[in-house]
Structures are given as C-alpha cells and as structure tokens.
Structure 1
Amino acid sequence: MKPTPIRNLAQLSNQPVTEVLSSIDVAHEFLMDTPYLSNLLNRNPDVFETIAKGGIEAGFQICLSLLDQANSIENDRLQVSLLLRQAKAKGHLAIALADLSGLWDVNQVVHAITILAEKSTQVAMWSAYRTAAQKDWVQPKERLEDTGLFAIAMGKMGAYELNYSSDVDVIILFDPERFSASSRSAKEAAVRITQDFAQLMETRDEHGYVFRVDLRLRPDPSSNAIAISTQTALNYYERVGQNWERMAYIKGRVCAGDYDAGKAFFDELQPYIWRRHLDYWAIGDIHAIKHQIHSTGGHEPIDVREFDVKLGRGGIREIEFFAQTQQLILGGRHPELRTRRTDDSLDALVAFKAVDPQNAEDLKRAYAFLRNVEHRIQMHNDEQTHTLLDIPERRAEVAKLMGYGTNVELFEQDIRAVRQFVHGVYSDLFAQEERLSGDAGNLVFTGVDDDPGTLKTLEEMGFSEPSKVIDRLRNWHRGGLPATRTVRGQQLLTTLTPRLLKYMSQTGEPDSALSRFSDFISGLRGGVQVFSLMLAEPKFAEDLLSAMAYAPKLATDLARQPALLDGMLDHSFNAPLDQDSYELVLEELERVLAREEDFEGRINAARRFHREESLRIGYHILRRQADACDAGPAYTRLADATIKCMADVALAEVQRKFGDWPGKWVIGAFGKLGGKELSATSDLDIIVIYDPGDPPFPNDLAARFTQRLIAALSAPTEEGELYEVDMQLRPSGRAGPVAVKITSFEKYYQGEAWTWEYMALSRLRIVAGDDGLAKRVVDIAKKALQHRSDFEDLEKDILDMRQRLARERPPSGPWDLKLSEGGLLDIEFVVQQSLIKNAKGHPSIICPNTLEAIEALRKCDVFTREEAISLSNAYALQANLQQALRIATSGKFVPETSSEGIKNWLASCVGYGDFSKLNQSVMDAQKLASEIREEKIGRLTTDN
C-alpha cells in the first residue's frame, strides 16, 4: 500500500489550534466544555491567574515548587501525599491551558507531562525509602541517589512523550552491592519500598491520584517480584530476553534513584539491546507483536469510524514501530541512531539515509496530529483511553478542541488521510511476504510428483536438470539442512524461493549459482537470520547470488563467517572506494579497537573489522564498481591501517610486560604492499628497522616487539587470521634477527646484499613508525640503489634470476597472469632493472608503484613513449584481471574449463563486451610486454 497524499499535511500538527485558540481566555472557555479540566479549573484558580499575569512557565512552576516542597518533608507522609496530588492537578491544568491556547506545541506538552511524572516518581520513591529507613528495613541515606535503588522509565515516559492519562511504566531494580538493607533482606526491603511507592502514586482520595504505576515491563513479571536485583535482570535478558523487550529498552532510561547504579546496569545491558550483528529476524518478530496488538486492540480497517488512535491501523504505534524497528536493526553498529524520542529517531534515520526525508517530515506531522487527537480524547474525563468513539457529540468535541470549530467533516477527512498515509509508509517497511509463484510461471514444490508447469518454468530459467532442482528444494523444505530444521526457517525459505530462482537465472549460470548456494546454506548452523535478511534486503540477495555464480571463493568466505553479511547492509558499504582515505580507515579501526580492553580483544576486533572491509572491497570488484586502480590502493589502505594499529597494540603489550622501550622504530613494506598494489589474497612483505639510541637503552625490546607484531597480524584466533606475514626480505633473511638495527640495515646494503635484494629495495615504502627514522631509512635505500647503479653484473644477475624463475616456476598458460611471458612478473623485472640502472643519474625515478615508476622512467627518457604505453597497458589490464580472479577463484583460471557466465563477467569487469575479445587483448598485451622484456633483459630460454 503506497502512502496517500494528505491535504495540507504541514498544517496538521498545531496550526489549526493556533489559528482558532489564540489566547488563554479562549482556552479557558474550551476547558469549561470538558468535565475533567473544568473541575481542575474550578479547584485551582491560582493557576489560571498566574498564567494570565506571568505566562505559562510561571503557571507550570507552581507544580514544580510543590514537588520540591514535598521532597524536603521527612516524617509527614500525609502531607507528601497531599502535595503530590496538588502538584499533579495544577500541573495538568497548566499544561492543558498551554496546549489549547497554542502556546506550547505537542512536543512541549508531552515533555512537560513527563517532567511532572518524573519528579513525582522521585518524590514518592524518596518518601517510600525514608519510611523504610524509619522502620529499620534499610539504612538511612542522605539522598535517594545514594541508595542503590533506581527506577527505569520505559515507553513514552522514557522518551519524554507521556500523554495526559499515561501510566508511569517503570522497572524498579536494586544493585546488591550498593543497596543497604537492615532488618529485612535486600529483595524484601526493595519490594516493600516499591509497594509503598506505587501506593503513594496510585491511591485515589478526595484530592485525586498522582499517576498510575505499571510495573509489568520487568523481567518475567509472572514469576519475579516487583523489585529485583540488577544481576537477576541481566541474567534474564542474557538467557531469554525477547525482541519486544529489546525494543522497549530503546526508550529506557533511569528516571529516579541511584543514577550511578543505573548507568552501570545500562552499560552491562548495551550488548543485549544493541547487537553488533544486524538482526533481521527481529523484523518478523516485531511484525508478530504488531499482529498481537491488532488482535487485542481491535485491528479495524481504515474506513471504520471508531478508531484506536494509539494501536489502530494508521495510528501512533505504527509510526513508533516504523522508527524503532529500524533502530533495533541498525543501532548496534551505529550509535547515532540510539535516540529515544520518535521525532529524533526519524531525524536520525534521515541523516543516516535510511528514511526518505519527506516521508519523515510527514510522519512527524502525522505523529503530532495523532498525539493531539489522543490528548483531546483524554481531556474529556482523564480516562486512560485512546479511542475516538463513533459518537457524534464526542467527535465534535474532539474536532472543536483540535481547532476545527464546527467543521467536523474537515476533521474527519484529515484524520482519515493521516491514517492512510501512516499505514502506507508502515506497510512498505513490513511488506516482505511473497506468493510461491514466479513471473515466469509455476513454481510448485509440494506433493510427490513433479509439477509439469514447474519443470517447464525451471527449464526456461536456464536450469539444465529441473527435476533435480525440485528434489533439492524439496529436501530443503523438509528440513534436510540445519538451516531449515526449524519451522520458521522452512517458512522463510518457502517465501524466498521464487526470488532466489529468479536471481540465479539472471546470472546466466543458474546451475552453478544453485550448487554454490546449496553449499553456502549447508554450512549455516541456522537459516532464520540469513533468510530473513535476504527477504528484507532484495538487493543484498541479488548480490549474494551473483557471488555464488561468479565468485565462489567469496561465497565460501561468507558461508564460513555469516556475520560478514551484516557489513553488506551497512550504510557505508556502497561508498565508492576512491572516496576512502588512509586517515578515514585508520580512524575507524582505532575507534573499533578503543572499545576493547586487552591485547586479545583488540586483535580479534581488528580481524572482524578487516573481514568486513575486505568483503566490501571484493564486492566492489564483483559488482564492477572498482578496478585495480581503486582496489589495489583500497586493500593497501586497509593493510597500512591494520599494520599501524597492530604495531601500537603490540608495543603497548610489550611495554606492559617488560617496561618502557624508548627506541625508535619503523615498519617498511616491500613488494605489492610497498607498491600499493595488494589484492584479496596478498601476503605482507615487511621489515622492522629500529634505532636503539645512543647510548643504546639496556632493555632492548625490538625483537619482542616484532614477534608480538607478527602474532597480532598473523596468529589464528577464534576470529580467524589477518595476513600471512613474510619477513624474508630483511637482511640475511631467515638467518638474521627479526628486527634490524638501522646501522646493520645501512651496512648490509653498502655491499653485502644480492641483486635481487636491491630489486626488492626499489619497492620499499615506510608504513608506520617514527617520522625521523623513516626519512633516514628512505635516504639509505635511495643511496644504496644509486650505488648499485654502477654494479657491472647487474643485468647478468637479473637475466639469470628471470631465467631461473622461468625454469623452476613455468606458467600454466597465458592466463597465468603473473608468470606468463609478458605477464606481471616480466613487467616488474623490466621496471626494477631500469630503476636500479638509472637511480644514480635520475634519483627522482625511484618509486615503489609499478605504473608510477613506468611514467617516471618515460619522463626521464629511459622508456620511449611507445614502450611506456605498452608496459602500462599490459600491466593495468592484467592487474585488473588478477584483482577480479583473486576474489572469484581459489585456484588457477583456465578458460577452457570455466563457465561462460564467469568468462563474460570477467570480460565485463574490464570493459569488454565478450570474453573472446578480452582473451585476444591479453595475448596482444603480453606479446608487446614480452618483446620489451626480451630487448631490455633478454630471452627466457637459452640455446641449450
């Protein structure tokens, strides 16, 4: 159901009231038409007089002063009770006058009612505690805030959104370590205080009552006492807490009592309320709650005149559910969405781009309109009702109090339009049920015999063996997998099946997609979360099936770590890679690590962050939203940030155990990491270089720091691994120390190093550590390369190395993009030889990135323009293809045995219409690059 346009929606909140009820005097006349308010007015003339002379704030201050007075009374319970009731009556009257005169809008009205309820709760709890202390049930305290007892405001009270006749929904808890009982047990004392508090608030006498108290939102109210310990509550929520209780706590806050104890409780409760992983099963659960509310609250159609403004279709609760459902799903990963007030929640969801701005503004206006209607219903006789009765004189009264005068028909039109709009937006959020049929024809998987129409539909979709597809789906639906053993899992998969088959067909490789999806769900311990997520997010489901068809390695990673699916729904997941920066990635990772308290917690958090970011980069390649020019730097930014953070974590751990290490250090990168050309499966070639100082500090912790760094980067934990780390490029390789002194580093490259080590040195880049030491290391490397320029056997050494690699690691074919003649390794050899040969005459050409180095060599006339173009094109094309293949395959890519779907996808990744043209382009590029290598370095084979 689509939202219905509303007549003049922008005027629906308070504008009619402001136009008609333009003064306190007019509001006074309207109050006389309602029994409850006219009674308050007659009994409290001082409130109206104060407002008429000093303004609405002065009138409301009367009730607050009475509450302050009541809070200071020690032993006169009857006087406390009287002051509470007088404050309630005067406060209600002042608020109603401000409301009907248009001096306060609905947000100010509900906030004032909540302040009145909150301060009343504080006074009543303090009086009850003092009474318990007099009876020696608890030890006397100077303030309620020091008692260990506290009240949590839930629902509308928690959000500062109470209506005129609201209950006070509170949960009373006590911290056993702070709550000091005496002659009674802590639990019994807390229960007695809670009973006394509720009685003081609820008991009706000749002065009325204060507020009704509802304690039923506490954990398991049928079994637990009305006051329980914080530990009992936490144990309950951890074991059997329900989604509706998580939803209720979105608005929860401490409103009275020991705020420090309350804060500690909420700190413990945060992982329960706000889950790290997106919880799309909660949508179905919350939808079920909504159905329960409809069944108990009378879920009437919109065209029925009698309307429950709170629970009815198109009512207040649907707006609140619209916001809270999305908060519940997204708030665990995005704290900025954890707001209590409905208006604030909608604004936060707009800022997060989860809700359309115009829809949010209209929902806020509709919410204000419906809250005003609710208030005017309750003004009649202070009844806890939300129903707009089908009684003409009562509807006319509400219309008049809403500012419509005698134009009841216009009021009816507006309320009907508001309901249609609200229910339309709400229904769009929950519209996830689908028929078990597809656009292409029958899709029936019940019964014993195959449905002929379904066989035909599957064949038209491209499945080669439709009967086997039906058998597989039947097995799933019968609970043949862990993911479908629950009734809920089977129901969700049944609903999802048409969409899955459609997306598989669209890949062009439906058999492969189905087979890999089967492997994927076979690895799941439960299917409800994943199936719910796929129903709620169709684009996610489509992307996932593309991965099944084209990137089985990515699909395998997802099956092993289903929590990775959460990252795909994050708002930042589709942000272009070229908009990232190292600083942003580093800041985000540091923020994640700051939440953890120890070494193990931080390295596990880094692994979770790394998995999500790696998935994001891989998916950008999969969806052809990025190529090597984007993906290589993106993988490298992630690695650089990870190395920097893990180095900080390692150093902190070493210094915690062994004391301060004042030595300076840097971490250098070689190879693909040095050139900012990492791919999905690259390892890290790094070196740790340090300066122990002069004189050297006696507690040399360089080796311990390096070992801890390697563990932080590569050790497997319950969250997996980060990278394979290779430190063999350090001086003397495995035989040398894991951390290299700056003096040893300099000495080694003055003459001891081999030619291949100088080639590796040409790609050195410092990624972390002391800036001054980094400059020294870079200067040493440049001088070493310049010195090597004069080495007479340089070209012979390089040719020998390339020929030996060709013999020992021959390419498997032209699509072995690294080792083939004219492949990536050939181009890197040509570039590195040219850099070393010309480093002395042209120091500016030393550059770790291959494409940038090619351009630098062209500018210095080391390469001709034609050579530079040929080398750049060949390198860029093959690097792009390698990036794609690294996420798509775990082995070698062989065109002859690969599917047409993956070949066509691979071609589209680099902008080619079909694979045959791409294949020819690869051959042509390799031929040109091979010719240049043969000219610059030599042939890969000799005559013998």
Structure 2
Amino acid sequence: MTSSPAAAHLTASRFLQRWLDADEQRQPLLDEMSRLSLSPAIFAQILQKEMLSGASLNKAMRRLRNLVICTLIKRDLEDKADLNEVVTTISEFADFVVHQHLQELHTELSAIYGVPIGEDSGIEQEMIVLGMGKLGGYELNVSSDIDLIFCYAEDGETHISNENQRCLSNHEYFSRLGKKLIAAIAEITEDGFSFRVDMALRPNGNSGPLVASFGMIEEYFMIQGREWERYAWVKARAMTGKADDIATLDKIIRPFVYRRYLDYGSIDSLRSMHAQIRAEVVRQETKHPERSNNVKLGRGGIREVEFLAQVFQLIRGGRDASLRDRSTRNTLNTLASKGILDPHIVERLLESYTFLRNLEHRLQYLDDAQTHTFPVQSEDQQRIAQMMRCADVPELLAQLQPHRAFVAEQFDAIFKDKANSDNEAEQDLLAANLANNENEENLAAQLTKAGFTDATSAARRLIATWQSPKMQTLSEASRSKLIALVNSALGLIARQDNNHLVCWNRLLDFMEAIARRSAYLALLTEYPHALARVVRMMGASEWAAIFLTRHPILLDELLDESSLHQRPDWLAFQRDLQQQLAQHTGDTERQMEALRELHHAMQFRLLAQDLEGQLSVEHLADELSQLADLIVTATIQAAWETIASRHRPVPRFAVIAYGKLGGKELGYASDLDVIFLYDDDDQDAPGNYAKLAQRFITWMTSHTPAGILFDIDIALRPDGASGLLVSSVNSFARYQEKSAWLWEHQALTRARYCAGDAEIGQRFEQIRGQVLRQERDAHKLAQEILSMRKKMHDAHINRSDLFDLKHDAGGMIDIEFIVQNLVLRYAHQYPQLTANIGNIALLKLSGELGLIDAELADRTSTAYRWFRKLQHSIRLQGEDRARIAHDKIENEAAATVSLWQALFAEQA
C-alpha cells in the first residue's frame, strides 16, 4: 500500500524524527517554515533571530542548518519541492554559511594582524573561496560535504595600523583564515556541524598548502596539472571575492580546463578515470557485498550522467562558451539544444538523473549521513521505499533498474573502448611490417589480402609516409593510434568501387597532416563511423580531400549523421553567427576565426550532402549563395563595430553582388564579385564607408589559422580599378545611365542586393531595372556583344583535344551571352526579363515570350544545366579547367551553337 505524504515524512526519516522529538516547539516551526521556498534572505532573518537570543554565530548557524535540512526533507517528501529547489536551496545555504563565517573571521583576524595588501597593486586582498563539485554547479546534496579551494590574488603582507598588531605575509594570513573557516563550518559540537569540508581538490591535494596565490595556481596548472583536475575544475565557482579578482582567476583556469581545439582525447581520459572509480567500487562491493547498490558510483549511476555531460564540456568548451556551465542539468539541455545529443535521449537522461538524485537524497534523509549506498537493514530499505512512494523494496528496485540500464547504455555509447579487438592480429601484422623497412613485399601481400588493387604501389606509399620525419617523431601512443586507424581504413577503401590507390594516397596525406594532433586521432578512434565517412569523401573528391586536410577541425561535423542529411536552418545559423561574434566583441582575430569556422562547417555539411548525391547543382549553388550572403552580412556588422570614427550605430551601406554570387550560382571555391554603395549625407560618411569596405575585404581575405573566407573581386565597381572603392547611390545611378560600358550592363543582368542597408538594396534594384529596360539598337547591341565574346575567346584559347565547358563555342559563356543579349534587347518590352531568376529560367521565359524558338530554348537550358553538372563534377576532382571529351556534350553544344547562330548570324 502506498504511504501518504504526511506519513512518509513523519516516519521514514529518522533524522527528522529525532530533531522533532528533541524539542516540542520545533514541530510548529517546521510547519511554518515548510510553507516557504527558502532563500538567503530567510536564512539571514533566522540567523539574526538566533544570535539576538544570545547564540554565537557557530551555534546559530548549526541550528539554522538543521532547520534548513529538515524543512527541505518535509517539503520534498510532501511534493512541495522538486529536485531543483532542493539542490539549489542547499547550495545557496552553503554559500550563505561561507560568506557569514568568512566575514566574521576576516574582521577578527584583521584586527590582530592588519589588512593583507598586494605587493604589486597596493590594494587590499580578499580570500576567494571556490566551491567545487556539485556545490560549484548549485547541485549540492542535502547531506553532502562541500569541496572547497582557497586562493588569493597577490602575495604581499598585512598593513598594520597600530603597535598591537602583528604583520604577517598574505600567505600566512590567508592560511590562518582558511583553517579557522574550516573549523567554524565543520567542527562537530553539541548542535552538530554546518557542513563537512573537503579540501582534497586543491593543488597538490592534502599535501599542498591550504591556500594558493594566483601565481601558484597558474604555475601548478602549467607544470603539474593532471587530466582529472581539468574535470574537477570545470565546476569551480567563486563563492567570495572581488569581481576583478574572480575575472583574473577565470582567465587562469579557462585555458587549463578548456582547450582551444576540439579535445576528443578527453573521452579516453574520462574513460580511464571512470575505470579507476569503478574498480574501487567493485573492490568495496566485493569486500562488503551488502553495499553493492551505489546510486552515485555504481553502474548506470549519477556519476555516469555527470561524465556524459562533462565530456562534451571538455571536448567543446574551449570553442563554445555556452558549454562552460557548471550545472549537469543545464549542460545536458545545452547539448540537446545544439543537437550534440539527441533531445529525446537528453530528456530521458534528465528523468533518470532526477530519479537517481531523489533516491540519493532519501538515502541521506534516513540519518543525515553522507551515503550513496542502499542500506543493509531490511527496515531501512523499507523506509527508503516508503520515501520513494513505493509499496515495498522490490517495487523500488523495479523502478530503479530501467533508469540505471538506460544511463549505462548511453554511457557506453560514448565511453566504450572502440578498439577493434577482432582485428588485433591484422593490426599487429601491419605494425610489424612497418617496423621493418625491408618488408614491402609482406606489406603488399597484406594489402592484397585486404582487397587492394595495385597493392605494391599502395605499400610503397605507406612505407614512405611512415618513414617521413613527421611520423618518426610521434609518440608511441600516437603511432599506435595511427596504425589502428590505417588498419581500419584498409577494408573501407577496398570496399570502394573507385581507384583504391587514389583514395589511399589522399587518406595518407590527410593522416600525415593530422598525425601530431592527438585530438583528431582520438576522434577518429572513438567514432569509427566518422573514419568511414572520411574514406568515402576521400574516394569521391580530390577537392573534398584537400579541404578536409586543410581544415581537420571539420571532422567534428561528421559525428552526427542526422545533421549531415538535414537542410540548413539558416535562421539558426544566423543566430550562431551573431552569438559567436558578440561573444568575442573586441577580439577581431577571434571574430575572424569564428566566421571562418562557422562558414567552413556549413560548407562541409553541404559538401557531404553533395557527395552523397542529395543536392542538385542548382540547389547546392542556392545554398552556397545563401551561406555567402549571411557571412557577408555578419562581416559588415562586425567590421563596422571596429571603426572608431563611425558616425552612426548602423551603417547606411550595402554590398551588391555580381557574377556567380549575383546569379546565385556560387561554387565551393568561387570568389565574390561585389561593389559597395552608401546613401549618407554625413560629412564623415565617405571616409568611414571607405574604411568599412577596406576592412570588409581584409576580414574576408586575410589568412588565419582557419584559412580565408573568400577572395574578393571589386573590378566591377564604377570606373573599375581607377574608381572609388565605394560609391554613393546617386553617383552609381548617374554612372550606369551615362558612363557605363555595355559589358557593365551585361554584368548588371546578374547583379543583386546581397547585404547591408535594405533601403539601399531597393534603390539599387530600381536603378538596375531602369538601366536594363533602356531601349537599345538591336544591331549595335549584337555587334558589341560579339566583340566582347571574341575578346574572351581569344583570351582563353583551348589547344587541347577536349571541349572546354566554359569557354569553347557552344559552351557556358555563349549561353550566358545569349541570355544577356535577350535581356538587354527586349527588357523595355518585357520587364519580367529583368528578374534575377537565373539563366535557365530566363531562357525558358524567352521561349515562352516567343523571342526565341521555344524548343531550342528548352534544349539550350538543358545543355546549360548539364554543363554546370559536368563542371561541378570535374572541379570536385581538383581540376582547374573543366574540359571533357566532345562526344559527351555533342548534342548540347550543337543546341547552343544553333541558338547562337539564330540570334547573331546576321550580325556576324
């Protein structure tokens, strides 16, 4: 029979019952208190009341502590408080305890020894108390100890103001203060204690000094800091201290805890740490079988949920500040919102975490003991079941089991050792063959057995790579990982239909590039499906292989298969851009890096979809153009903020796209043809907008560790290379109407507003429409276009036996010139031709309007689509020139030539 809430709290918690039995006045006080959600303000009121009655701070605080614990027990068991309230309240109480005692003790000590002063700054120093573990994340247990670390900013000595005071070094002063603080909080008196205190997490542990200066901490991190301490310091939270000192300390802690790169080596480190913890738990359980149900450290327990959250903090926190939260629950939610973990899995993890933490609390409610193990006595087990609202112990264990099983399953998905034990013999053979320089034949035989064609060349290349200076200087651990990865890749490459040796060479180039980056080796080791995807990409595209080799950080994008199949969420991407730039305001280099990283990541996702055949060339070009638009927009906004002389918060400035970006036909390596317009009468406008344009170009084209964003071509601006970098809208309009060459009007057919001030964008579209709709002499127009086409043809003479898809007669340039002729010739009659809808759509529209033969228009538009697809495929293989055998495009080229002759034959 399920117990009522009232019965549960009155009979199940022996600690609560003993506390109530000790004083009959406590029951009404508890009833009153349990109606409230406790807060620091309430703590202060009760503490003051106790001290006014004559109690010392130590006595009053301990009485308050017992009242707080009992109130939380009652509220929790009566369903008035959820887990969040319980852990937050007890954490806030710990902060309150530390604050109150530290303030009183500092006053006492400074009266005796004077005020500690920094030797460099000359200002008063304060002790910073760091809350670690669950206290740091505001997720403390009701009966937990508190993990603390004491530190201070500067060495120096105390300033004495009278002869009765005795000068101490700052280190000695804070050491005495720390000892007194621990005693005040943790000493057991007739009223109990406030909190048990554990100082073992400080630098050098219990053998180290009780307090440390910032300099000591920094030196320790640099020289002695161990991997498990990175995990511990994720939770470090300053409970006391000056804001400036806390900020300085954070700058010391952050680079130790969070790597600037994606640190997949953390998985192996935490796996090892977890194995050590589990080994100790198993040892204890073997020694004491009755303690075998540990909800914190046991299989599928609380610690495994914490590790699941914190491993991603260590992996990604260096690049993503949102993952530096100290709360396990908040971190899990962030991982879900970012798509790093599946939201449904996170929801279930949080459900299991809540169940386990609630059970842990009830184990502690029993006797106010710091325990995480199911009790031995059957009576006590029944009390726990009662507090968990279960009729009996079997019902409780039946509820517990699926939670632990789910947590263990998710933990194994991340932390299970991915080494392929089934393949160890082949791996050992590969290592032996590579260790002996004369074993080329044996190595070739092994590769042949794996399924390689041309195994001899593959073996020779592998040996050359393995003997390279970079490989020879690797650590033994890295060499072992590389051998394991190469061995895994053998079968993956052999199963591909394309040339094994080409893929093999590309992969070895990639492996050599990342060999010294242990994080990338760890990623591919931990996520075998990522290695499989890498091999597929290497086999499919030379361009993809080079791109990934230059930007191995993009390996991270291969981990989530679902994201690689999703169409881009451009609103979310835009938010990410804004957040990353805002996060690094004032740090131009980091902002430029963030732009490149986000751009490359999205481009890589599109590349992965492209290689899997999920995108048409036209759709891909649309997506790449949209990506470029958003990058341009974000860069303009960020670059404007760096101009100290800017005269308005938002610039009246716009970027106009021409060429491939203007026509939304962008490829992976396309440059951006742009011009810059402004509409601003302020006297400082021309100078500031010239600075903005120049800074924009710098932000786009500068080489950083992440590479560049885009090459920028500004040759299409009014007056070309001799013209101003930026133009006012009015001067641009005058130039286009009176001075522009015909080829500039041709270029205008594929121009559009890209980014910046939308009103300027509207003005540009009006100007563009007016210019394109001018009535022109058809014969003169044709002559000028033919002349321009001849110049381009002469500049790109093809002496090969192949057809140049872009430049040869009947190719893409001819089709683009045909469309430009149709727009400039007929737009005064048919304004719809000025729409920037792409060459294929404009050809079909011209056919529908009867301007050209409809069937020929359809054949030519089909040819253009085929040419683009072929060009894209060739470029993916790293070729600069898109040329192909004539028989592959014979019909398409003939259609283009026929349409060209129909339009231009009489003018030729």
Q: TM-score, normalised by structure 1?
A: 0.82
CA distance in 1, matches of 2:883, 2:49: 82
2:37 matches 1:28? no
Give the CA deviation at 1:587: 4.4
Q: Which one of 157, 164, 170 corresponds to residue 148 of structure 2?
A: 170
Greater alpha carbon shift after TM alignment, 61-70 vs 786-795: 61-70
Give the CA deviation at 1:200: 0.6
Query: What residue identity is the alignment partner of 1:935?
Result: A
Q: Does the residue aligned with 1:680 lie in a helix, a strand or coil? A: coil
CA distance in 2, matches of 1:770, 1:370: 54
1:233-252 superposed matches below 5 A: 233-234=217-218, 236-237=220-221, 241-252=225-236
Determine the structure 2 residue equivalent to 1:47. 26
Kept after mapping to 1: 8 A contact 2:43/2:93? no
Determine the structure 2 residue equivalent to 1:630. 619
2:726 matches 1:739? yes
CA distance in 2, matches of 1:71, 1:179: 37
Kept after mapping to 1: 8 A contact 2:530/2:558? yes
2:751 matches 1:784? no
Kept after mapping to 2: 8 A contact 1:70/1:84? no
Q: Which one of 779, 785, 789 corresponds to residue 802 of structure 1?
A: 789
Give the CA deviation at 1:870: 1.5
1:71-150 superposed matches below 5 A: 79-100=56-77, 104-138=81-115, 148-150=126-128
Kept after mapping to 1: 8 A contact 2:565/2:609? no
Determine the structure 2 residue equivalent to 1:868. 857
CA distance in 1, matches of 2:241, 2:651: 52
Determine the structure 2 residue equivalent to 1:284. 268
Give the CA deviation at 1:765: 1.7
CA distance in 2, matches of 1:877, 1:262: 62
Q: Which one of 379, 386, 396 corresponds to residue 372 of structure 2?
A: 386
Give the CA deviation at 1:673: 1.7
Kept after mapping to 2: 8 A contact 1:388/1:395? yes
Determine the structure 1 residue equivalent to 2:834. 846
Q: Does the residue aligned with 1:387 lie in a helix, a strand or coil? A: coil
Query: What residue identity is the alignment partner of 1:212?
Result: R
Q: Which one of 301, 308, 325 corresponds to residue 311 of structure 2?
A: 325
2:802 matches 1:817? no
Give the CA deviation at 1:289: 0.9
Determine the structure 1 residue equivalent to 2:699. 712
Q: Decide whether aligned partners of structure 1 residues 840 and 434 sit closer, same or farther in structure 2, where only a CA change above 3 A counts.
A: same
Q: Decide whether aligned partners of structure 1 residues 867 and 149 sit closer, same or farther in structure 2, where only a CA change above 3 A counts.
A: farther
2:546 matches 1:556? yes
CA distance in 2, matches of 1:84, 1:305: 36
Query: What residue identity is the alignment partner of 1:425?
Result: Q
Give the CA deviation at 1:704: 4.3
CA distance in 2, matches of 1:838, 1:132: 92
Greater alpha carbon shift after TM alignment, 630-639 vs 224-233: 224-233
Determine the structure 2 residue equivalent to 1:12. none
Q: Does the residue aligned with 2:102 lie in a helix, a strand or coil? A: helix
Greater alpha carbon shift after TM alignment, 59-68 vs 339-348: 59-68
Q: Which one of 747, 754, 774 corresponds to residue 760 of structure 1?
A: 747
Determine the structure 2 residue equivalent to 1:487. 476
Query: What residue identity is the alignment partner of 1:767?
Result: C
Q: TM-score, normalised by structure 2?
A: 0.85
2:572 matches 1:613? no
Q: Does the residue aligned with 1:172 lie in a helix, a strand or coil? A: strand
CA distance in 1, matches of 2:752, 2:496: 41
Greater alpha carbon shift after TM alignment, 770-779 vs 434-443: 434-443
CA distance in 2, matches of 1:827, 1:775: 28
Q: Which one of 513, 517, 534 corresponds to residue 503 of structure 2?
A: 513
Give the CA deviation at 1:769: 4.3
1:334-483 superposed matches below 5 A: 337-356=323-342, 359-379=345-365, 381-388=367-374, 395=381, 398-399=384-385, 402=388, 407-411=392-396, 415=400, 418-437=403-422, 444-447=429-432, 458-459=447-448, 461-466=450-455, 469=458, 481-482=470-471
Q: Which one of 247, 262, 274 corresponds to residue 246 of structure 2?
A: 262
Determine the structure 2 residue equivalent to 1:926. 893
Query: What residue identity is the alignment partner of 1:558?
Result: L
CA distance in 2, matches of 1:721, 1:346: 34
Give the CA deviation at 1:100: 5.0
Identity of aligned residues (%): 26
Q: Does the residue aligned with 2:673 lie in a helix, a strand or coil? A: strand
Q: Does the residue aligned with 1:310 lie in a helix, a strand or coil? A: coil
- Give CA deviations for 1:290-316 in whole Å, capped at 9, x if unaligned: 112123333689996532332222322
CA distance in 1, matches of 2:209, 2:45: 29
Greater alpha carbon shift after TM alignment, 148-157 vs 37-46: 37-46
2:809 matches 1:836? no
Give the CA deviation at 1:286: 0.7
CA distance in 2, matches of 1:649, 1:396: 63
- Give CA deviations for 1:61-119 in whole Å, capped at 9, x if unaligned: 9995577535996999x811111222223333333444555654555444443343332
- Give CA deviations for 1:847-870 in whole Å, capped at 9, x if unaligned: 343233224423432233213321
Say how many residue pairs are matched.
886
Query: What residue identity is the alignment partner of 2:91?
Result: T
Give the CA deviation at 1:823: 2.1
- Give CA deviations for 1:823-872 in whole Å, capped at 9, x if unaligned: 21111011111111112222331234323322442343223321332122
Higher relative contact order (CA 8 A, sep 6+): 1
Q: Decide whether aligned partners of structure 1 residues 490 and 390 sit closer, same or farther in structure 2, where only a CA change above 3 A counts.
A: farther
Q: Does the residue aligned with 2:430 lie in a helix, a strand or coil? A: coil
Kept after mapping to 1: 8 A contact 2:662/2:752? yes
Query: What residue identity is the alignment partner of 1:313?
Result: R
CA distance in 2, matches of 1:707, 1:426: 51
CA distance in 1, matches of 2:397, 2:640: 70
CA distance in 1, matches of 2:645, 2:73: 65
Query: What residue identity is the alignment partner of 1:511?
Result: L
- Give CA deviations for 1:199-235 in whole Å, capped at 9, x if unaligned: 1111122332221111222344467532334454456
Q: Does the residue aligned with 1:563 lie in a helix, a strand or coil? A: helix
- Give CA deviations for 1:247-298 in whole Å, capped at 9, x if unaligned: 3344443334546643564476556545554321111111111112123333
Greater alpha carbon shift after TM alignment, 659-668 vs 348-357: 659-668
Determine the structure 1 residue equivalent to 2:870. 881
How big is the alpha-carbon RMSD for the aligned residues of Structure 1 and Structure 2?
4.2
Query: What residue identity is the alignment partner of 1:429?
Result: I
CA distance in 1, matches of 2:76, 2:810: 80
Give the CA deviation at 1:737: 3.4
Query: What residue identity is the alignment partner of 2:296?
Result: K
Q: Decide whether aligned partners of structure 1 residues 616 and 415 sit closer, same or farther in structure 2, where only a CA change above 3 A counts.
A: closer
Q: Decide whether aligned partners of structure 1 residues 420 and 188 sit closer, same or farther in structure 2, where only a CA change above 3 A counts.
A: same
Determine the structure 2 residue equivalent to 1:217. 201
- Give CA deviations for 1:448-483 in whole Å, capped at 9, x if unaligned: 597999977743654124466567667878997449
Give the CA deviation at 1:423: 2.3
Q: Which one of 658, 663, 674 corresponds to residue 686 of structure 1?
A: 674
**Unaligned ranges ≥5, structure 2:** 118-123, 161-166
Give the CA deviation at 1:789: 1.9
Kept after mapping to 2: 8 A contact 1:689/1:739? yes
**Unaligned ranges ≥5, structure 1:** 1-18, 141-145, 897-918
Q: Decide whether aligned partners of structure 1 residues 805 and 326 sit closer, same or farther in structure 2, where only a CA change above 3 A counts.
A: same
2:159 matches 1:206? no
Greater alpha carbon shift after TM alignment, 877-886 vs 347-356: 347-356
Greater alpha carbon shift after TM alignment, 58-67 vs 183-192: 58-67
Greater alpha carbon shift after TM alignment, 283-292 vs 595-604: 595-604
Query: What residue identity is the alignment partner of 1:324?
Result: Q
Q: Decide whether aligned partners of structure 1 residues 175 and 501 sit closer, same or farther in structure 2, where only a CA change above 3 A counts.
A: same
Query: What residue identity is the alignment partner of 2:878?
Result: T
Determine the structure 2 residue equivalent to 1:915. none
Give the CA deviation at 1:680: 1.3
Determine the structure 1 residue equivalent to 2:513. 523
Q: Which one of 316, 336, 340 corresponds to residue 302 of structure 2?
A: 316
Kept after mapping to 1: 8 A contact 2:151/2:211? yes
Kept after mapping to 1: 8 A contact 2:537/2:544? yes
Greater alpha carbon shift after TM alignment, 719-728 vs 596-605: 596-605
Kept after mapping to 1: 8 A contact 2:39/2:92? no
Q: Which one of 711, 727, 749 corresponds to residue 714 of structure 2?
A: 727
Determine the structure 2 residue equivalent to 1:590. 578
Give the CA deviation at 1:885: 3.5
Query: What residue identity is the alignment partner of 1:833?
Result: N
Give the CA deviation at 1:709: 3.3
- Give CA deviations for 1:533-579 in whole Å, capped at 9, x if unaligned: 113333322221122212222222322232233344479953644x5
Q: Decide whether aligned partners of structure 1 residues 445 and 90 sit closer, same or farther in structure 2, where only a CA change above 3 A counts.
A: same
